[in-house]
Amino acid sequence: MSHRGQSITLRLTLLFAAVSTTVLLALGFLIGNAVEQHFVEQDMELMTGKLHLVGHLLEKMQTTAEFDALPAQLGDSLIGHHGLAMLVRGPGDRTLFATADAVFPPVLLARGTIRNPPRVQVWQQDGTQGSQPWRGIASLLPTGVADLPPLLVAVAVDITHHEHFMTSFRRTLWLFVTIAAALAGLLGWAAVRRGLAPLQAIRQGAAGVTASRLDYRLALDSVPVELAELAETLNDMLARLEDSFQRLKDFSSDLAHELRTPISNLMTETQVALTRTRSVDEYREVLASNTEEYERLARMIGDMLFLAQADNGLIVPNREPVDLAAQVRELFDFFDALAEEKALHLSLEGAGQVSGDKLMLRRALANLLSNAIRHAPTGGSVRVRIETAGNGANVTIENTGEPIPQEHLSRIFDRFYRADPSRHRSTEGAGLGLAITRSIIRTHGGEISVRSGVDGVCFEVRLAC
């Protein structure tokens, strides 16, 4: 049972919603704190203003008798300030003035805990409308009376209205954040769907690719920049598949043709031989002719098996020193009769040694020399040049004659491929020689290339030590 990965659309939508929610929550937290801090500053401004007022009144008093008028003065200063409480205590914690709702917590009134600037305290107080929140400060203020210790003055403000506003504000804010996060997720989903639409187009186009429609290519002008490289890679892959499939079709056609010829010859000769009674010598001639066809089939099958093993990395060459010049000279002796028949001049320049399988490298060189001699014109020449290059050697095999057309050079190493369109010259082999040569060279970690010009055709082999 297959398990598909999580949807990209879902992942991007969730990521977008999570980021948006985080930003909105952070923004809501900052706004809530800013509003609350604003209320605290307003309350502090009101309370410190009253402390300064009380301090100013106390500094003007020069005798203790003047304190009798203090309650009236403070009461007048609190007119219009609803929800404001004040307490003034003299020596021995004697209350000099207190509003009706002045209920301060002991921790705020403890003289040992008073700081300058005053420290803010928040507490809950039971009132006529239930529990009420208060915010207050306390300070020790000096008077104008000599030898009189500072008086303790406490001021508090009812923050019930502030608390109600902040509760309503937070409720509205978090509701907005929730709706905004949901809307951001929905918009993110729509944006992701729209952004991934080119991928759907790519999927639909790829779904239409079949063995008969390998020429399909993605339109790069309609693909976003972020997907351009992916589209180019897919187009390159389709081009490689088309080329490989075309080569496979050609290979299958060539293989069928190459096998059909010897099998047709065998069937024809055998059927002719069976039409009437023949002598022993005639049967022997038929069998001898059939043997030649069998040998051709055996060589073809052996070559195909070699190529299949090379393609799958099943051929591991033996490593031994190989004198390339000595191998070429031995091959010159082997092909001497064929070269003499065509009046060809064979020449060798340079020397070099590599590490590899002597028999395999000899076979590769033999295929190249055989190909060069076979396609050289009568009276022409075949030149072999060996050069040491770095940690390897280069072997160049060049013959004079007609050049190979450029459209054939890219496929010259394909199996059963012949630059000559004629496929009926069985004396030229099955068209596997150059394919085998390339497999041998690559198995040894080298490369082979071909170039063609007005002077002839040149194969260059690069081998590592």
267: domain CATH number is 1.10.287
DSSP assignment of 109-158 equals: H-GGG--SSPPPEEEEEEETTEEEEEEEEEEEE--SSTTPPPEEEEEEEE
Lowest-confidence segment of 121-130, 289-298, 321-330, 441-450 by average pLDDT = 121-130
Torsions phi, psi for 98 (to 5 deg): -160, 135
Residue 190 inside a domain? The answer is no
Residue 199 inside a domain? The answer is no
Q: What is the mean pLDDT of residues 244-250?
A: 75
Contacts of 417 (CB under 8 A, 6+ apart): 250, 254, 408, 411, 431, 435
Lowest-confidence segment of 20-34, 82-96, 187-201 by average pLDDT = 187-201
Q: Which amino acid is at 205?
A: G
Same domain as 336, residue 441: yes
Task: Answer whether 0.75 is exceeded by the pTM.
Answer: no
In terms of average pLDDT, the best of 152-161, 277-286, 294-303 is: 152-161
Q: What is the mean pLDDT of residues 250-257?
A: 70
Same domain as 233, residue 133: no
Residue 118 inside a domain? The answer is yes
Same domain as 301, residue 345: no
Q: What is the mean pLDDT of residues 433-447?
A: 86
Same domain as 304, residue 346: no
Same domain as 22, residue 146: yes
Average pLDDT, the chain: 82
Contacts of 86 (CB under 8 A, 6+ apart): 50, 54, 74, 78, 97, 98, 99, 102, 153, 154, 155, 156
Domain containing residue 101 = 8-171
Q: What is the mean pLDDT of residues 217-235?
A: 78
Euclidean distance between CA atoms 423 and 387, whole angstroms: 36
- The Cα angle at residue 125 between residues 123 and 128, in degrees rounded to 5: 155
Residue 374: count of CB within 10 angstroms of its CB:
15
Distance of alpha carbon 303 from the chain centroid:
42
Q: Output the pLDDT for position 347.
A: 92
pLDDT at 28 over 80: yes
pLDDT at 1 over 60: no
Query: What's 353's domain CATH number?
Result: 3.30.565.10
Residue 98 inside a domain? The answer is yes
Residue 191 inside a domain? The answer is no
pLDDT band at 426 (very low <50, low <70, confident <90, very high): very low
pLDDT at 349 over 90: yes
Residue 428 inside a domain? The answer is yes
For the segment 299-338, what is each residue's pLDDT rounded down to a tens digit?
777 777 776 777 666 676 788 899 999 999 999 999 998 8
Q: Output the pLDDT for position 25.
A: 85
pLDDT at 134 over 70: yes
336 membership: H or E segment, kind and range: helix 336-341
pLDDT at 422 over 50: no
Helical ranges in 2-151 per DSSP H: 8-60, 70-77, 106-109
Same domain as 148, residue 237: no
Q: Could you give the 3-state DSSP secondary structure of residue 323? A: strand
Lowest-confidence segment of 83-87, 243-247, 271-275, 361-365 by average pLDDT = 243-247
pLDDT at 423 over 60: no
Q: Output the pLDDT for position 348.
A: 93
Q: What is the mean pLDDT of residues 87-93?
A: 85
